[in-house]
Structure 1
Amino acid sequence: MKLKPYFLLPFLALPLCFSCDSKGEKQEEIPLESMRNEVTATKVTVAKAEKRSFDYLINASGKVEAAQQVKVFIERRGYLKALNLKEGQSIKAGTVMALLDNTDNIFRREKALVQLKNAQANYNSEMLGFSTIMEGDDIDKISELQEQLKASSGLLSAEIELKEAELELEKSTIKAPISGKVADLKLKPGSLVNAGDELCEILSTEELNLRVKVLESDIPFISLAQETEVYPVAAGTGSLSGRVSSINPKVDENGLVEVNIKLKKGEKLLPGMNARAVIRAPQNDNVVVPKQALVYRSGRPVVFTLNGKESKWNYVEVGKDNGREIEVLDGIKDGETVITSNNLQLAHQAPVQIVKEKE
């Protein structure tokens, strides 16, 4: 039995009805403004972009050193008779630090004095035979004769012997070459010492330096007498101020340059302490924003600004970064309001609500 064609007509009509209903539904579009009103506004904090001087901060670490550090050495062999030192003691330049047994030196000096007197007597005796020349007017001839007689009479060698004896006697008394504090005391009284043995080191703590190394790329931003902030690692020392006193004109194998910073005196600061220096390098006036305003999208720097009650996506070109603020060379204008929080997942034209920092 065959079905007649008119029995299929109701079934064919059904898809057409459904199709008409679907098209009717698609034509009913929800207004964009209505959708935005339904989206919860993101709470954000904001700040002003300002065109002003920007401090580029150069951080470097190093060790505190005394402006003068002098090692004191023994200059002759002998027994260390007296030692008037202890570590940490303050001492002034010229103060007697130690004494070596000088009995033999005193004897040698007395012997040299006797030899000098005998030589002087011989010289005076020989001079009597040249009274005519000595009373003349030829100064050059008189001077030449005196030198010859000094040599022949032994006076010249006797004078040298006395000077040598006095120098050796002086070496038995060890004096402080500079003012400062005693460190690394190595010898004890009664010790037999030799020439070249180290006694101690004297540190001039009245003036301290911090020697640091900075990247060669940062050297153009550093100049002599530039202000610095110094933060010792040791607790309780506080922060200090200083000035750049010298810049080594050579770059080492690691691409670093040595910079010396003269410190203002700190009561608890000692040579050898570790410290961090922050060198401020003012830059030309540029637009500056807080560092929190900068985010990266697909590897490109972006700053969101406030456009009414919405966020605005801005690609920017950034300059220096000092840890707190960033230079914006292009993309943001002076006076624009930038978004500084909840901007990591923020989109363009997203509704935002300004709140205070603590909210």
Structure 2
Amino acid sequence: MKFSTILACVGLISLSLSACGGGSPAQAKDAKPEVVNAVPVEVARAARGQIAASYNGTATLVADHEAQVAAKTSGVLIKLFVEEGQSVKAGQVLAQLEQDTARAKLAQAEAQMRAADASFTYNEKAIQKQLIAQKDFDQAKYNMQNLRAAYEEARLNLQFTMIVAPVDGVIAERSVKLGNLIQTNQNLFRIVGMDPLQAVLNVPERQLGILKAGQPVTLDADALPGQKFTGNILRIAPVVDSSSGTFRVTCEFRDKSGTLKPGMFGRVGIVYDQRADALTVPRSALIEEDGETAVFVVEKAPDKPADDKKDGTKKPEAKVADGGKSDAKPVAPGLVAHRKLVKVGYSDGDKVEIRSGIDEGTRVITVGRNAVRDGTAVQVLNVDNEDKQLAQKSAEEKKA
């Protein structure tokens, strides 16, 4: 009876200790810490720098001048002095036609002209002495003028047997061969001017009051990667095409080296304003929604009060099962994303000017912004030197 009473007392004492002990070691072992599901992102800092306002368009280079060289007389082609790709000057001889026929016609026209001159001289003296009628004198005068014109035509035909370049340029095409019988007005060569070259842009009408003649332009040709050429706006069309809502802007490029060629396709940039101290962010940070422009900035989350017991003692830290390892990825604690409305200005390549909404040094999300919302916990993957210094300083303060 006494032994049974002692066992009952021991059992009651064990139950009481279990109720007051705060849980068994097995329960503590099974407890898992709260894991924050942070979204991995990459950020960039808003920084000040130079930005340019520009218009960019595409165009094909065309020659400032081009000429089709045609024959002005007929004859057999007996000499060629130039070939395709050769540079020529205005007045330079390109080819020659046979001249025998032209020389014979010139000699004939000269003889007839001299006979008419002699007849007119005789009739001029005779009319002074009233030996001939006025009618005969006028006829001799007209014959003389007619044969002089015929002589001049024959002289020009002989001159036209020498084919000359009407403009400076490069022989882009030769359409005939030696021995061909050339007819009047037949195309023989095509000459293309290589300097200057022009690019014609069809610019939206909203730029009409911004672009001016003489403004500098740049050209990046697809066929010449890594090379940039400079020029200027030559002229601007004063009217807007009502069907397309654009106006023509003609740009001129002078390339003495001859690297640029007519027909090349390129991208033309026209810088019309610059800011030396603009606050900029990468274009990838911008979010366009409902007519508003915003960015997600990364900020430190507000500190939460410690979860202590009523008696002032903290809860013991729980260990993670499976050897202290966790499937959750390590995260940078205390970072959240906040949506900020911004007002943008100029854009230049991958940079955009921010005129209001954020300050210099603010971290904006550039990669992963579509996966976050206002208040989302984030993990910054590309930690910069400034972030490392702040983390180190925070760690030192905690140790102190």
Residue-by-residue CA offset, 1:14-45 (whole Å, 9 max, x unaligned): xxxxxxxxxxxxxxxxxxxxx99967696653
Q: 1:36 to 1:255 in 2, by over 3 A?
A: farther
Which residue of the partner structure matches residue 278 of structure 1? 269
**Structure 1: gaps of 5 or more residues:** 1-34, 134-144
One-letter amino acid matched to 2:341: Y
Which residue, out of 218, 222, 229, partners 1:233? Answer: 222
Which residue of the partner structure matches residue 142 of structure 1? none
C-alpha contact (below 8 Å) 1:224/1:247 kept by paired residues: yes
Q: 1:332 to 1:297 in 2, by over 3 A?
A: same
Which residue of the partner structure matches residue 192 of structure 1? 181
Quote the offset at 1:322 in angstroms. 3.5
For the pair 1:118 / 2:107, whether they are aligned, the reply is no
One-letter amino acid matched to 1:356: D
Matches within 5 A, 1:244-283: 244-252=233-241, 253-265=243-255, 266-282=257-273
Mean CA deviation greater in 232-241 or 75-84: 232-241
CA distance in 1, matches of 2:225, 2:215: 26
**Structure 2: gaps of 5 or more residues:** 1-32, 302-335, 389-400
Q: 1:177 to 1:153 in 2, by over 3 A?
A: closer
Q: 1:126 to 1:342 in 2, by over 3 A?
A: closer
Q: 1:156 to 1:41 in 2, by over 3 A?
A: closer
Percentage of identical aligned residues? 23
Aligned residues: 310
C-alpha contact (below 8 Å) 1:150/1:156 kept by paired residues: no
Quote the offset at 1:204 in angstroms. 1.9
Which residue, out of 383, 386, 389, partners 1:355? Answer: 383
One-letter amino acid matched to 1:166: R
C-alpha contact (below 8 Å) 2:40/2:368 kept by paired residues: no
- Secondary structure (helix, strand or coil) at the match of 2:176 reads coil
Residue-by-residue CA offset, 1:76-99 (whole Å, 9 max, x unaligned): 222222222211112222111111
CA distance in 2, matches of 1:343, 1:355: 15
Mean CA deviation greater in 72-81 or 211-220: 211-220
For the pair 1:209 / 2:198, whether they are aligned, the reply is yes
- Secondary structure (helix, strand or coil) at the match of 1:109 reads helix
TM-score normalised by L of structure 1: 0.72
TM-score normalised by L of structure 2: 0.66
Quote the offset at 1:187 in angstroms. 0.5
C-alpha contact (below 8 Å) 1:63/1:275 kept by paired residues: yes
- Secondary structure (helix, strand or coil) at the match of 1:59 reads strand
- Secondary structure (helix, strand or coil) at the match of 1:210 reads strand
Which residue, out of 37, 43, 46, partners 1:45? Answer: 43
Residue-by-residue CA offset, 1:202-246 (whole Å, 9 max, x unaligned): 122232222333333334332212222211111457221221112
One-letter amino acid matched to 2:109: A
Which residue, out of 53, 57, 81, partners 2:78? Answer: 81
Mean CA deviation greater in 172-181 or 275-284: 275-284
For the pair 1:332 / 2:357, whether they are aligned, the reply is yes
- Secondary structure (helix, strand or coil) at the match of 1:76 reads coil
One-letter amino acid matched to 1:276: R
For the pair 1:180 / 2:206, whether they are aligned, the reply is no
C-alpha contact (below 8 Å) 2:51/2:347 kept by paired residues: no
C-alpha contact (below 8 Å) 2:68/2:191 kept by paired residues: yes
- Secondary structure (helix, strand or coil) at the match of 1:184 reads strand
Quote the offset at 1:346 in angstroms. 4.0
C-alpha contact (below 8 Å) 2:340/2:358 kept by paired residues: no
C-alpha contact (below 8 Å) 1:214/1:259 kept by paired residues: yes
Which residue, out of 62, 65, 68, partners 1:65? Answer: 62
One-letter amino acid matched to 1:158: L
Which residue of the partner structure matches residue 146 of structure 2? 157
One-letter amino acid matched to 1:105: A
Quote the offset at 1:177 in angstroms. 0.9
C-alpha contact (below 8 Å) 2:64/2:193 kept by paired residues: yes
- Secondary structure (helix, strand or coil) at the match of 1:249 reads coil
Q: 1:274 to 1:80 in 2, by over 3 A?
A: same
Which residue of the partner structure matches residue 293 of structure 2? 301
